[in-house]
Amino acid sequence: MAGMRVVAAMSGGVDSSVAAALLVEQGYEVIGVTLQIWQARDPGAQARLGGCCSLGAVSDARRVAELLGIPYYVLNLQEAFRRSVIDDFVREYARGRTPNPCIVCNREIKFAALLERARELGADYVASGHYARVDWEPERGRWRLRRGRDARKDQSYVLYPLEQEQLAHVLFPLGGMEKAETRRLAAELGLPVASKPESQEICFVRDGDYARFLEEEIPDRFVPGPIVDRQGRVLGRHRGLPRYTVGQRRGLGLAAPEPLYVLEVDAGANRLVVGTASEAGRRRFEVEPVTWVSEAPPADDGWREATVQIRAHSPVRAVRYRLAGGDPGRLELELLEPLRAVTPGQSAVLYRGDEVVAGGPILRVRE
């Protein structure tokens, strides 16, 4: 790998730090980069942020880069992040949908804008600390995206939007490792972040309180309205639709003989539709736009079998799928068994074994 230049995304955490260290060990010419993507309105809040956007994260990443003896830069992508990720997050909630901003960030920022900057630096690859694997499949003539070895840490779900050209220029050094192995290696290398805890929150939402964040962005969408059952009978009042998501059970403030779940967030009528567990199950839904990953789009619209994951950490389920109207950009999916949390705005990712076949946002849910 001597002479191959790699831009390593460094968030200041243990995963990205070990990924950069492994690249150095493998002989790559590594350039460390931290993406400055979010600036809180309140400087005090910015200082308290514990994720990849915090001042401490930049300091940690710089210390690791110095230890590894690699050049290090901070790239300001705040404007692009605001436009591509935050505005989309707010817009989707305003429409009554539940987006996953990490997927949008991976598509638009980490593996698009960063790859563009990497090329300006003469780099051959972009690398990150994601737990996923990429390899070339000669029979299909395609790059494959596969699950990481550590099933508990696998992040292939949030990487499905990567297209073939991007997959050809990304490296995931931790894809074949277990998380415990990463921690052990960090300690052995003397990295100052070896015992640093992981950040589990959306990076631009302080304290994980997304409702407070949205109320500051779209206060007009926090107007109370009716909670109704499937027959339209009013059961209570909601506190603003962005506080709710399909499949939600807790926090409805309703007294009923059996548990009730959110069936629909109807932004047009400003109403929340709820129902029982038996009413909440869904089997059929549509996905659009579709990114085809390890497999090319099928040549016909016949049904095919796979497994599907509909949330970042949900178990896979058996499913069949086909092109919607012959369009490779749209899919119809039908679960073998109904699920309660098939949620517009979340992504459905198809797998065959450990390979990502395709994926896309859930557009609408059928019965």
**What are the residue numbers of the active site?**
105, 203
What is the distance between the alpha carbons of residues 21 and 63, in angstroms, rounded to a whole number? 12
- Identity at 107, one-letter amino acid code: R
**Beta-bridge mates of residue 93:** none
Q: Tell me, what DSSP letter sits at residue 351?
A: E
What is the distance between the alpha carbons of residues 160 and 294, in angstroms, rounded to a whole number? 10
Tokens of 97: 């949908």
Which residue's entry shows tokens 């309660």?
340
Strands (E), the chain: 5-9, 29-36, 72-76, 125-127, 132-137, 142-147, 170-171, 225-228, 234-238, 261-266, 271-275, 282-287, 291-292, 304-309, 317-324, 327-339, 347-352, 355-365
Q: Assess contact for 242 and 94: CB atoms under 8 A.
A: yes
Q: DSSP assignment of 101-144, as one string? A: HHHHHIIIIIIIIHHHHHHHTT-SEEE---SEEEEEETTTTEEE
